[in-house]
Chain A
Amino acid sequence: MLIRPFGINEFWIIVMAAQWTIALSAIAFAGGGIGGLLIALARVSDAKWPRLLATGFIRIFQGTPLLMQLFLVFFGMNILGFAINPWIAAAVALTLHASAFLGEIWRGCIEAIPPGQREAATALGLRYFNRMRYIILPQASRIAIAPTVGFLVQLIKGTSLAAIIGFTELTRQGQIINNATFSPFMVFGTVAAVYFILCWPLSLLARRMEVKFSRSTTR
């Protein structure tokens, strides 16, 4: 195989691969948003079974490495008779992963709302759906923004593990280019820089919102 130098072309190939990292992150975040809300609601439910199931789900995903979760979904799909598809496997595994973590973060935010809020809403005749929709979740979401953005940063970095099951995103593209150029420092330096450019503004945003929130609550 011919070794070619690391030039502007190779640089752009790596930068463009960021779109797949962004796409995978977006899918996992959107799916995890829906899953996480369901998990969080099950976790604070008055009924025993939803609470136990949600707790079990969270414990499993918090107690195992993301890489194992990717492997299990990837190979599990094969065993269940689906064709091996890194895209679907990565999207499913990261969605489940994000559901568990967002579910746990949001549970904490829901439980941080004083019980008097729920009691006042109940006493006014509001039933479960309206209580959540108009009273509890709007207040919980204000506390949730900062840690949620913080988790999104973790999730973006976590998508790099999908390279191992053959999903061609930023990290995998870097590996491919490195195999052709043998300039690991340039290649992975570029890859790292792209991750940093994606994540740093989000980290700043999360910190700013945290400051803003703590100011608005100490007033």
Chain B
Amino acid sequence: MTEAKANATAAAVRGTSDLAVHMEGVNKWYGAYHALKEVNLEVNRGERIVICGPSGSGKSTLIRCINQLEVIQQGRIVVDGHDLTAGGKNVDLVRQETGMVFQSFNLFPHMTVLENCTLAPMKVRGISKAEAEATARRFLERVRIPEQAEKYPAQLSGGQQQRVAIARALCMNPKIMLFDEPTSALDPEMVKEVLDTMIDLAKEGMTMLCVTHEMGFARQVADRVIFMDRGEILEMGPPDTFFENPKNERLKNFLGQIA
């Protein structure tokens, strides 16, 4: 806790705009329920963070605050130099620069894969249809499903849908990618294809925050792993120390349960 505070002050000195994400004293309540308690977190550009914890620990809420799908009641969040607490235009800017992938894919069912990928670039960035489609096809190629471009989401498997969702987010050319349990709704045999896509993305240097229970993925790509429980960050560190030498009792418990 004190270490995090020290980090926060250091950031204030060198300026929050050098960071991808800066969270300071963040508190959130759902009615009387305290969902996030005094959260402090700094994510450097290009850093890969994995957040884990039992269900209801606040990990999804945490990353949903970064693009303000959830509004915080206390504290400060600065994303890529844009202070969300200032509201207004900054919220739009942050949403344009962060891509998000959801547990339940959330593709638009009434649009083809290609239309899913081109809508936001055309309507938000004002890019021409031809250019948006070219970009979309490039990213669909990268997630290895270029041949599905004209299909509707319902015609695809879960793994394919999630890869489309990743491509859709990438089409906005985001600086930060947020993943909210991207493999939890998938059949086991489809988990790997989605994780492989995420690993590729990590290798290219994308700043990533992933809420996931895939500890293999965490070991392989994370620069830091965060453990949350009951709305608090209880432990944070590089995967080696996090998994081999956990200090917090609840984390030891948690690791014991999922191993």
Contacts and interface: CB of A to CB of B under 8 A. Distances in A.
Contacts of A124: 95, 99, 119-120, 124, 168-169, 172
B104 interface: yes
Query: Which 7 A-B pairs rank lowest in CB-CB distance, beginning with the nearest?
Result: A120-B106, A124-B120, A123-B100, A116-B106, A125-B96, A125-B124, A125-B95
Nearest to B96: A125
5 contacts: A119-B69, A120-B108, A122-B69, A124-B168, A139-B110
Contacts of A122: 67, 69, 95
B154 interface: yes
B169 to A, nearest CB: 7
A169 to B, nearest CB: 39
A123 B119 contact: no
Contacts of A123: 67, 69, 95, 98-100, 169, 178
A127 B131 CA distance: 22
Contact of B110 (A120, A130, A138): A138
A216 B216 CA distance: 39
A135 interface: yes
A78 interface: no
Tell me the dominant secondary structure on chain A's binding face.
Answer: helix
Given A124-B169, A124-B172, A125-B172, A119 B106 contact: yes
A116 B169 CA distance: 15
Interface string A110-153: 00001011011111111100100011001100100000000000
B148 to A, nearest CB: 18
A48 interface: no
B117 to A, nearest CB: 10
B123 interface: yes
Interface string B97-116: 01110101011111000000
B92 interface: yes
Interface residues of B, number: 25
A219 B102 contact: no
Contacts of B100: 120, 123
Contact of A117 (B98, B108, B124): B108
A48 B168 CA distance: 33
Interface in A176-219: 219
Nearest to B100: A123
A120 B102 contact: yes
Residue of A117, A124, A134, A219 with most chain B CB atoms under a 10 A cut-off: A124
B46 to A, nearest CB: 21
A120 B124 CA distance: 14
Contact of A116 (B67, B102, B110): B102
A127 B91 CA distance: 11
Contacts of A125: 92, 95-96, 120, 124, 172
Interface in A78-130: 114, 116-117, 119-127, 130
B92 A142 contact: no
Nearest to A115: B106
A130 B123 contact: yes
Residue of A120, A121, A125, A126 with most chain B CB atoms under a 10 A cut-off: A125
Given A119-B69, A123-B95, A127-B92, 5 more contacts: A120-B107, A121-B108, A122-B69, A123-B67, A126-B123
Nearest to A139: B110
A142 B154 CA distance: 16
A142 B108 CA distance: 14
Residue of A116, A119, A121, A123 with most chain B CB atoms under a 10 A cut-off: A123
A114 B168 CA distance: 19
B185 to A, nearest CB: 11
Nearest to A124: B120
